[in-house]
Structure 1
Amino acid sequence: MKSQDVRKQFLDFFKSNGHLIVPSAPIVLKDDPTLMFNNSGMAQFKEYFLGNGTPKSKRIADTQKCLRVSGKHNDLEDVGFDTYHHTMFEMLGNWSFGDYFKKEAINWAWTLLTEVYKIPKENLYVSVFEGSKEDNVPFDQEAWDIWKTLIDEDRIILGNKKDNFWEMGDQGPCGPCSEIHVDLRSEEEKALVTGKSLVNNDHPQVVEIWNNVFMEFNRKADGSLEKLPAQHVDTGMGFERLCMALQGKTSNYDTDVFTPLIEKVEQITGLKYTADEIKNISEEQNKTNIAIRVIVDHVRAVAFAIADGQLPSNTGAGYVIRRILRRAIRYGFTFLNTKEPFINKLVEVLANQMGEFFPEIKSQQQLVTNVIREEEASFLRTLDQGLQLLDNVIAQTSGSEVSGAKAFELYDTFGFPKDLTALILKEKGMSFNEEEFDASMQEQKNRSRAASEVSTEDWSVLIPGNVETFVGYDQLENDVKITRIRKVDSKKDGILYQIVLDNTPFYPEGGGQVGDKGTLVSANETIEIIDTKKENNLILHFAKQLPENINASFTAKVDTALRFDSQSNHSATHLMHQALRAILGTHVEQKGSLVNPNYLRFDFSHFSKVTDAELKQVEDFVNARIQEQLPLIERRNIPIQQALDEGAMALFGEKYGDSVRAIKFGESMELCGGTHVKNTAEIWHFKIKSEGAVAAGIRRIEAITNQGVKDYFAKQESTLQEINEALKNPQDTIKAVVSLQDDNAKLKKQVEQLLKEKVGALKNELEKNFEVVNGINFLAKQVDLSMASTKELASVLGNSKADSFIVLASIEDGLPNIHCFISKELVAAKSLNANAVIKELGKYIDGNGGGQPFFASGKGKNANGIAEALSHAVEFVK
């Protein structure tokens, strides 16, 4: 059975049993601060389990793109070494929100697996929760009794809290679960060892394929459990593992989910992948297999993340995506001998394979390919740089063991992989201190964990059952009551309070727009609201203190000046998007944005730098729309298909409901939940501040409007006035500046000529001061030159004298600099290294530096240390 048919039969089965089939949510989460990525099928439904929203149907089924590479669920380091863990995987799931419970969920699971998919019953085992005295939760007798009617009792296993009690996180909805495991071993193996003994013991062919979670508790901050007001079902079945079972394979990678990608890697590299059934393979072939598994798994994760709007970067979710891709690149580099970008060539195969069900990977194929190609090229350059740095470390190491701290510095600062360092050192008969490396790694993790540590108390509910409403499109001030509060303590922000109101004019951060600030005012006090965010369908107002009387009536007041500036920038973002598509082409799509009171930032797909002339056209286009005084036409709660049919733009990576809000200014129409001006005239003026690259095929524009433009023009006017005063108020300022530049250029040429003459004179003088030490022409002197001229002098002297070791120092602007030249023949013959020399001598001037083995430079802070540094230079050649 092909994988496409496996997916379709699952969805058709639950559709026939009254379930609404919904699309996968984006793999990248934008409205849940507790998760970076969708790591389970239930993530997009959290608000329903928490009672903060109403689902479209009480019965839902879907297949959800999931990513498990960070936090509690992190499978990254297992990927490639076994045949059933993945970074990105599909989770087939069916859900009940206060509708059916254990009986229906278990029976449907059994029927689908044994009657529709026709998995032999004798290959299946199930588990139920054995109970927990600690949590005062009894043995799940109900699930046991249901399973007894379907399967022999000796195939039912009691599971502990670790395996059979599923929790969303440290707090929140949870409950006992019933897992279904499949035994895919040969009959000979089954005869030797029972499958029952191998369940949950990491056997590659005895694996869990489906988990039925019965949500009936809420885990509180103190660890205790309370009953939920309604019982829910949350199930998840691993699509890749199910395909393995149905296609008669013993490895996920041998299914048609992965084989097209594997075949493409084989074609590119000329190496072969051996299927899991082939036993007794060589160590070399095993390394090839692992590398290929890593690559075909990781390209799926990276490609879908980019298609959903998450570009690789150095922070947050972007850093995780970059790390996954770099892991794939280094496995190719080390074990498949790929020294050129090649992973990007797999995107076409992936798009053809999965584009029908996940159209985003097809429509974003070119962008994904470009971004991955550029990331590959960049990291391969980093690996080259790392190889040079490692050579320097080896040159500075006496003995066969490199410092673990040095190896960690290569990993942490330059991204040079630990295992590649070990491999290269092994080839040279060396190693590094792994204990030191691990200690450095743990120290960094502890710092990171301490910085992000958050303690969240339970909600204190003041008004039960209230459904909060947002009134901020129409009002900036409203009478409110507090419905719930909780305290959050984090290392980063200290103690803050999250306040939920019965209704609110405060816009919560979303769609690129920052959250509102303002105040809560009662008869007796004023509480400052420093931010507003949304979490699980609740609008959270952040404050540094709570009101003395939390039950009082308040007036919620949005900071109108900040809101006005934010919405000016947001409306201008829509107009700029329209302008870019009109001027550059309809390939332009929004890939990210930030809208705050000070400026707007807009990332978009485009293949080349936007020229100054094009930027001017964009500015003119937007300002023309401002001059036209276009009124806002806002449509709320219209069917999404109707909005799209009328020409509204939807953004990739955004999750839209069945009903949407459409914003229209003239010909610009977008789906948007943000706040906007009532008329484009309110924007006043639009000015682009900068344009540049973010990633391959992605450009970024930063711009200002309204008060930002007024401040910008005022500053420009003030700067011009200062220039005029400095130039003695000339009649023609530009002519005066050009004249000044011409004079400066002439003087620079004269200075350069004088410096050349001075360097030449010093060269002749210093040539007489060389000493022969150990057969080496040695010179260490301080000279009265600029840093650049000192560097030039060291090079000129070195090239004029064979077998030379030269150290020159000088002071520029009160700060010392030092340079070392070593003849290339000495670098090879005497194992001398200018980089090591500068690092050592730099200590005397409170500085550091680096360079090549034959020439290196450094700067410092302590000019008084120059003499001591020069006196120690001779020790290197003695």
Structure 2
Amino acid sequence: MNSKEIRKQFLAFFEGKKHKIVPSAPMVIKDDPTLLFTNAGMNQFKEFFLGVNTPKNSRVVDTQKCLRVSGKHNDLEEVGKDTYHHTMFEMLGNWSFGDYFKEEAITWAWELLTEVYKIDKDCLYVSVFEGSQDADRLDKDNEAYAIWNKIVPSDRIIMGNKKDNFWEMGDQGPCGPCSEIHVDIRSAEEKAKVSGASLVNQDHPLVVEIWNLVFMQYNRKADGSLESLPAKHVDTGMGFERLCMVLQNVKSNYDTDVFTPLIREIEIITDAQYGKNEEVDIAIRVIADHIRAVAFSIADGQLPSNTGAGYVIRRILRRAVRYGFTFLNTKEPFMYRLANVLTQSMGEAFPELREQKQLIKNVIKEEEHSFLKTLDQGLSRLSAMMDFSDGLKIEGDKVFELYDTYGFPLDLTQLIASENGISIDVEGFNKAMQEQKNRSKSAAEISKDDWIILHQYNGENFLGYDQLEVENVSIIKYRKIESKKDGTLFQFVLDKTPFYPEGGGQVGDKGYLESSDGDVVYIIDTKRENNEIIHFTKNLPKKLEGTFKAVVDSEQRRRTEANHTATHLLHQALREVLGTHVEQKGSAVHSKYLRFDFSHFSKMTKDELEAVESFVNARISGHLQLEEHRNVPVKEALEDGAMALFGEKYGDAVRTIRFGKSIELCGGTHVKNTSDIWHFKIRSEGAVAAGIRRIEAITSDAVKDFYAESNRSLNEITGVLGNPQDAVKAVTNLQDENAELKKQIATLLKDKAKNLKGDLQNELQEKNGVRFLVKKLDLDAAGIKDLSFEMGQNNSDLFLVFATEKEGKALLSCYISKELVASKGLNAGSIVRELGKFIQGGGGGQPFFATAGGKNPAGIPEALEKAKGYLG
């Protein structure tokens, strides 16, 4: 049975049990501040488990794409070293929201595995929560045990501890006991020697957990105590890749047809063979795993970057490139070529791979190319470190610098260093690594109290599309949070609110809450969490039980709306000017500016930018009225021509925003008429990644400020120029004069160097058959280089070290005749790296000419004295 059939059978089985098949949520999470990526199937259903929303269907089934790069069994640096853990994986799951519970979940799981998938019952073990005697004092899950004991003999039921058989969403929130189903796929001979029951949860590669049935029946409070949930839920998760391994009768996830097409393609591209060498096998597994994580992330809208989720994706990609570079000898980009095979294999289940295939290839290729250059720089840096190590040991903090800056893991640095007879300060490296982890953990540390409920809550009531002030508002619930970054803050939920929560690229509203007796608290941000609108404040009202007036900062909202509407018009303009291949790839809408990322293959010309600006401003001048439609069936909206953004998850009903011919699905706030934008001005256009461009622009008050500042600057410039009638012509004349003067200076410096040549020729000294000169000169770097090569033209035995000082910086240059390089083993690059220590700098170059720069000119005399010693 191939993987496509396995996936379809799972969904069909539960559809037959009256479950609604729902699509996978995006792997990249955009509107949940608590997570970067979907790391479990339940993430998209959190609001139902928390009781803040009611699902349309009480039974659902799906396959969810997930990403895990930390936590139990999922440390990134371990993936690939075994055969059953992954970064990106599929989680098959069936869900009950207050409907069925343990009886159905257990019996259906057993039916599917043994009757539909035909897994041998004698290969299966189940585990049940044994209870705990800690502060929770939880009883054994007798209910689950009794149900299982009707199905399997008691010797196949394993009592599991709290670590393995009690599932929690986090430090707070829904939780409960779980039953895991484990499969033993060892040979009959191995089973006869050691019981499979003894290997459950022991990290045995062939005795693995295949399905986890979680029974959510408690809520974990901030103080650690448990309370019963008002409704009980079922949350199951089965690893798709492991299931395929079992059903396809192989011993590794990587031997299933989920991975074998990728592995075959890697073998073809790299001329490597899988199954012949362990180091090569690990490298191939890493690449096959990581290409999935990176491709799905890009398809969901997350490009590699230096921060947040983008940094995680860049790190995963670079790890794969580094394994290819080190063990498969890949010195050119190659991973992008795997996108074709991945799309063929998984594009049917996940059509976003097909739709974004070219973007995926472009981004990965560019990232590979960039990192390979970084690896080269890292190799040069490592070479310099080895030169400075006195042939003994490289310090731990230097090794960590290679890891942190250049992507060199410890084992690669150790390998290269050992080949050169140099050891590594591993203890120092581990210390530096731990310090960084502690800093990151400390910066992200946040604690939240339990919500204190003041009133009953009947669901979200957002009024901000129509009102910026709302009377008679009540606080439904509130809590205190503490973070290292922001200190003490409070969060609260209102029964009705005009505050727009951050989402869709638009910032959250600010404003205030005012009581009837004049008590005011300022709302500093608004976000959405678990489908609730959360308001942030530094202080709570004195009387929480009263009613309030909620007021949005109208000026910030007005400017933000202008920028948001401008992004829609900009999107339309880019498709009109550049072509319909343009798609929005991200946006950030603030009150002061807007940022818009889009797909395009080349830098925009000046004429194209002017055309886009003119297009948008023509729509602003056209006074186009907002046409807004709420709760439109998504199919109807798309048929009407509305633009849907990739990587976004839309519900059955959507909101459409139209200005003239621009129509998009959008939940953000907008101006009522395009004339409210006043004017649109592009400030910059540049590349974000291969095939992705970024425009930053301003509107409204920011444009007025821009023109006012430009006018002030022009007046200052013309004043400096003596108020000429034609300021542009005056500046052009200055540029021409400056260029001519620069030419004259360059000529004078060349003449000076020529004159010096004769004088310096007479200063050459001889030592051990080498003519040498070590001296400080009053020339720039280019002049010293020209002089060195001119002196070397007629000399085959020349050794020169020159120093100069410019603007508080020191520069050292070393020239060695090529004949001396060959005959005496001298190397200008190694010499300047050593001499660079004296001027607190470094450098390098070729064996016959190299330079080093530093910030300590006072070290020049000592460096020159040291240089004389290289000739014995």
**Alignment TM class, shorter chain as reference:** over 0.9
Following superposition, the deviation at residue 760 of structure 1 comes to 2.1
User: Aligned ranges for residues 412-811 of structure 1 at < 5 Å?
Assistant: 412-479=404-471, 480-522=473-515, 523-772=517-766, 776-786=770-780, 788-790=782-784, 792-793=786-787, 796-797=790-791, 802-811=796-805
Cα 1:195–1:762, aligned 2, differ >3 Å: closer, same or farther?
same
State the one-letter code of the partner of 2:655: R
- What is the rounded CA distance, in whole Å, between the counterparts of 2:307 and 2:797 in structure 1? 47
Q: Any idea what SS the aligned residue of 1:85 has?
A: coil
Corresponding pairs, count: 869
Q: 1:859 to 1:259 in 2, by over 3 A?
A: closer
Contact kept in structure 2, 1:527 and 1:543, CA below 8 Å: yes
Aligned residue for 1:37, secondary structure, equals coil
Match of 2:403 in 1: 411
1:225–1:873 distance in 2 versus 1, CA, 3 Å: farther
On the 8 A contact 2:74/2:86 being kept in 1, the answer is: no
Q: 1: CA distance between counterparts of 2:98 and 2:833?
A: 67
Q: CA separation of 1:73/1:471 partners in 2, compared to 1, >3 Å: closer, same or farther?
A: farther
Contact persistence 1:476–1:505 (CA under 8 A): yes
Q: Which amino acid aligns with 2:40?
A: S
Partner of 2:106: 106
Q: Are residues 529 and 832 of structure 1, via their aligned partners in 2, closer, same or farther at CA, if it must alter by over 3 Å?
A: farther
1: CA distance, partners of 2:120 / 2:625: 65
Q: Residues 174 and 791 from structure 1, CA distance in 2 versus in 1: closer, same or farther, beyond 3 angstroms? A: farther
Distance in 1, Cα, partners of 2:468 & 2:194:
70
Q: Relative to structure 1, is the Cα distance of residues 769 and 28 closer, same or farther in structure 2, using a 3 angstrom cutoff?
A: same
Does structure 1 retain, via aligned residues, the 8 Å contact 2:796–2:818? no
Shift of 1:559: 1.3
Contact 1:39-1:73 at 8 Å conserved across structures: no
For 1:278-293, list aligned pairs within 5 A: 285-293=277-285
1 CA distance for matches of 2:734 and 2:280? 65
Q: 1:848 to 1:428 in 2, by over 3 A?
A: closer
Structure 1 length as normaliser, TM-score? 0.95
SS, match of residue 30 in structure 1: coil
2:719 counterpart letter in structure 1? E
**Cα distance between partner residues in 1 of 2:636 and 2:695:** 31
Give the deviation of 1:711 after TM superposition: 1.2
CA offsets 1:444-471 (integer angstroms, 9 cap, x no match): 2222222222222222222243534211
Q: Quote the Cα distance in structure 2 between the aligned partners of 1:150 and 1:572.
A: 62
Report the AA paired with residue 60 of structure 2: I
Cross-structure match for 1:170: 171
Q: Which amino acid aligns with 2:532?
A: L
Q: Is contact 1:498–1:541 with CA below 8 Å preserved after alignment?
A: yes
Give the equivalent residue in structure 1 for 2:221.
220
Match in the other structure for 1:260 = 261
Picking from 353, 366, 371, the partner of 2:363 is: 371
Write the letter of the residue equivalent to 1:594: A
Report if the CA contact (8 A) 2:811-2:851 is conserved: yes
Unaligned residue ranges in structure 1 (runs of 5+) = 275-283
Aligned-partner residue type, residue 653 of structure 2:
S
Check conservation: 2:395, 2:428, Cα contact below 8 A.
yes
Pairwise CA distance, 1:547: 2.7
Displacement of 1:82 after TM fit? 1.4
Relative distance call for 1:657 and 1:752 in structure 2 (3 A) is same
Q: What is the deviation of 1:860?
A: 4.7
Q: Deviations over 1:459-488 (max 9, x none)?
A: 222224353421111111123222222222
State the partner residue of 1:197: 198
The CA distance in 2 between the partners of 1:794 and 1:531, in whole Å, is 63
Amino acid in the other structure paired with 2:500: Y
1:180 is paired with a residue whose SS is: strand
Deviates more, 1:408-417 or 1:637-646: 408-417
- The match for 1:339 is 331
Contact 2:26 2:649 in 1 (8 A): yes
Change (3 A) 1:490 1:762: farther
Sequence identity of aligned pairs in percent?
A: 64
Tell me if structure 2 keeps the 8 A contact 1:392–1:853. no
Q: Specify the code of the residue in structure 1 equivalent to 2:100.
A: Y
Residue by residue over 1:681-705, the C-alpha shift from the partner in whole angstroms, topping out at 9 and shown as x without a partner, is 1111111111111111111111111
> Does the residue aligned with 1:503 lie in a helix, a strand or coil?
coil
CA contact (8 A) 1:395 1:831 kept: no
Q: Superposition pairs for residues 815-826 of structure 1, below 5 Å?
A: 815-823=809-817
C-alpha contact (below 8 Å) 1:59/1:99 kept by paired residues:
yes
The answer (yes or no) to whether the contact 1:786–1:812 under 8 Å persists in 2 is yes
TM-score scaled by length of structure 2: 0.95
Contact kept in structure 1, 2:577 and 2:612, CA below 8 Å: yes
1:258 offset after TM fit, Å?
A: 1.3
Secondary structure in 1 matching 2:624: coil
CA distance in 2, matches of 1:385, 1:843: 19
Amino acid at match of 1:381: K
Instruction: Report if aligned partners of 2:128, 2:159 keep a CA contact under 8 Å in 1.
Output: yes
* Cα distance change, pair 616–142 in 1 and its aligned pair in 2 (3 A): same
Alignment-mate amino acid for residue 324 of structure 1: I
Residues of 2 paired with 1:516 and 1:776: CA distance? 75
Assess, with a 3 A threshold, how the Cα gap between structure 1 residues 794 and 445 changes in structure 2: closer, same or farther.
farther
Q: Tell whether 2:239 aligns with 1:230.
A: no
Note the C-alpha offset of 1:44.
0.8
Quote the residue 1:280 is aligned against: none
**CA distance change for structure 1 residues 768 and 369 in 2, over 3 Å: closer, same or farther?**
same
Query: Match of 1:384?
Result: 376
Distance 2:196 2:565 in 1: 62
Amino acid at match of 1:160: N
Note the alpha carbon deviations across 1:304-361, whole angstroms, 9 max, x for none. 1110001111111111111111121122222222222221111111111111111100
For 1:500, give the aligned amino acid.
Answer: V
Q: Distance in 2 between matches of 1:728 and 1:94?
A: 78
- The equivalent of 2:50 in structure 1 is 50
RMSD: 2.2
CA distance in 2, matches of 1:775, 1:486: 82
Q: Does structure 1 residue 93 correspond to structure 2 residue 86?
A: no
1:316 aligns with 2:317: no
8 Å CA contact retained: 1:295, 1:332 = yes
What residue is the counterpart of 1:78 in the other structure? 78
SS of aligned partner of 2:696: strand
Partner Cα distance (2:761, 2:493) in 1:
79
Q: Distance in 2 between matches of 1:491 and 1:456?
A: 12
How far is 1:824 from its partner?
Answer: 5.3
**1:704 aligns to what SS in structure 2?**
strand
Distance 1:827 1:592, change over 3 A: farther
Q: CA deviation at 1:385?
A: 2.6
| SS of equivalent residue, structure 1 residue 299 | helix
Note if contact 1:98-1:232 (Cα within 8 Å) is conserved in structure 2. yes
Q: Higher mean Cα deviation, 755-764 or 659-668?
A: 755-764
* CA deviation vs aligned residue, 1:606-634 (integer Å, no higher than 9, x gap): 11222211111111111111111110001
Asked if 2 retains the 8 angstrom alpha-carbon contact of 1:75 and 1:86, the reply is no
> Matched residue of 2:41: which SS?
coil
What amino acid is aligned across from residue 360 of structure 2 in structure 1?
V
In 1, are the aligned partners of 2:796 and 2:820 still within 8 Å (CA)?
no
CA gap 1:745/1:534 in 2 versus in 1, 3 angstroms:
same
Q: Tell me the distance in 1 between the aligned counterparts of 2:681 and 2:791.
A: 53
CA shift, 1:811, in A, is 3.3
CA distance in 1, matches of 2:481, 2:769: 70
Tell me what 1:30 maps to: 30
- Bigger drift between 441-450 and 200-209 goes to 441-450
Residue type matched to 1:151 in 2? V
Moved more, 24-33 or 722-731: 722-731
